[in-house]
Structure 1
């Protein structure tokens, strides 16, 4: 079975059932290891960055190695066992259905005029404080999360799976998990999570730029403002603290004709962010659904691109 066919099947499984809470998702165990390592080895000392380096190396190598070992063992058992194992691991790397479902939960609360419920729901998605957010800020938070994670949680894993199969895809998911857990610029994690954050920036460099381009193309097929999406992508792609997140955010802001970014509160501290896009219209709950359409459109386009490249390189077999 080709790697591409396995990717397609994994994506279909994710589209159908997402990430069931009962399923023993590998990222849960990655998170447990990170927490154990931090409890065991974190100390405020001069070499804390090197301890963080050790955390990053051991977590990524263990993730890659265990995945490769599982596939090797499954292949020794039977080729069918290998196929199933390979597809299941790839499936756990993709967050398309889960991301869309979580965003729709916020949309539903806003549609029911339950702002308090929407604030609570969006709190599960973002690190910023949400208990005082106005409706427009809730909408922005969801949209920014959806488009950033289109790159981090969908396009990037698929990109690395296409290059190096399930082991490389799982290694990427581990890098992303490390960044989400220790990659903060606060007092505790600024040094300890430095390597994890930098590695995540490096790993997402190409996928983020691909995602921005895919979103421009997807906006054309979705009859959104693709010209403005391209314009804002070129103009505002660097208007973000992250070297990568500005690409999907700027393309989305242009396609939807809205402005993202601005000030937010993180861990009790106001963080000022540059704005992305033009304030042509207020951000409303409808734009949450539009961002989900962009996410899905970009993902489908990427998979079609992979299929096209495979046919171009190997022909139709």
Structure 2
């Protein structure tokens, strides 16, 4: 199931807090890079402290309440179901030959301009989003939850939310969003590369192309302007036997991205379903690894 609408979602609160701090920070310093650093530190530090305080208070009330709050925090840190729901909506609209609805649905997943996308462009946007968010929304939060518990998971979500809010290379955020983008790059560096192995195993289990996933992920992942996004996208391209990347419109500007993968099958809505299958298998595999590692670590401490 997805996130219940009636429950407060920490990520929305983090995003609103970041936006609320932007104006005062800009006014306090003419150095926009410094102002962005202050906001990033405040939001990440505040998120970690708030999470720790909430866990401490809940655990102090009772162990049951503490466990419930811990589970809720961890649950909100992972985006597998929401990601699947958004991409499924794209697929349903395409099946109905409703391109305007498909463009709207995919616009909820990506930051690029979607009004002029054809079916292939819509599918490409959806698959690329599923691939990138397999790291951002699943693997990386699990990784930091394993290392630092719920505080680590929410600290990572603060980092990722800051990047989504401020990490744009435009006139407004080029300097102010510098810290948010760089911290996000650092946080995702290991998970993005670690993910290649799990995407390849998921490809094997789903009947896709595991060897190509690993080979193309290693070959093309470094081509992307982002130090991390290219790895899962290239691995998905290899696993699905398609080519991703290329030109896209963002804020009315044509950006050229490198092609990821070899020319192969033409993109169609079936690739959205296959991408979701890979994403869910990666989730299960990585969760099992982290759980097993946690059990092993506790056993050697006893």
The two structures share one fold, judged by TM-score above 0.5: yes
Deviation at 1:34, TM superposition (A): 1.0
- Pairwise mapping of residues 1-317 of structure 1 onto structure 2 (< 5 A)? 17-43=1-27, 46-315=30-299
| Gap change, CA 1:243 and 1:79, over 3 Å in 2 | same
How high is the TM-score relative to the length of structure 1? 0.92
Secondary structure of the corresponding residue to residue 4 of structure 2:
coil
Secondary structure of the corresponding residue to residue 22 of structure 1:
coil
CA RMSD of aligned residues (A): 1.5
Once residues 120 and 233 of structure 1 are traced to their aligned partners in structure 2, the CA distance between those partners, rounded to angstroms, is 30
- Unaligned segments of structure 1, at least 5 residues: 1-16
Secondary structure of the corresponding residue to residue 268 of structure 2:
coil
Deviation at 1:280, TM superposition (A): 1.1
Once residues 129 and 307 of structure 1 are traced to their aligned partners in structure 2, the CA distance between those partners, rounded to angstroms, is 39
Deviation at 1:312, TM superposition (A): 3.8
- Deviation string 1:244-291 (CA, Å, 9 cap, x unpaired) is 011111111001000000000110100000000011111111000000
| Gap change, CA 1:130 and 1:210, over 3 Å in 2 | same
The count of corresponding residues between Structure 1 and Structure 2 is 301
Secondary structure of the corresponding residue to residue 167 of structure 1:
helix
- Unaligned segments of structure 2, at least 5 residues: none
The answer to whether the 8 Å contact 2:142/2:153 transfers is: yes
Once residues 115 and 293 of structure 1 are traced to their aligned partners in structure 2, the CA distance between those partners, rounded to angstroms, is 24
How high is the TM-score relative to the length of structure 2? 0.96
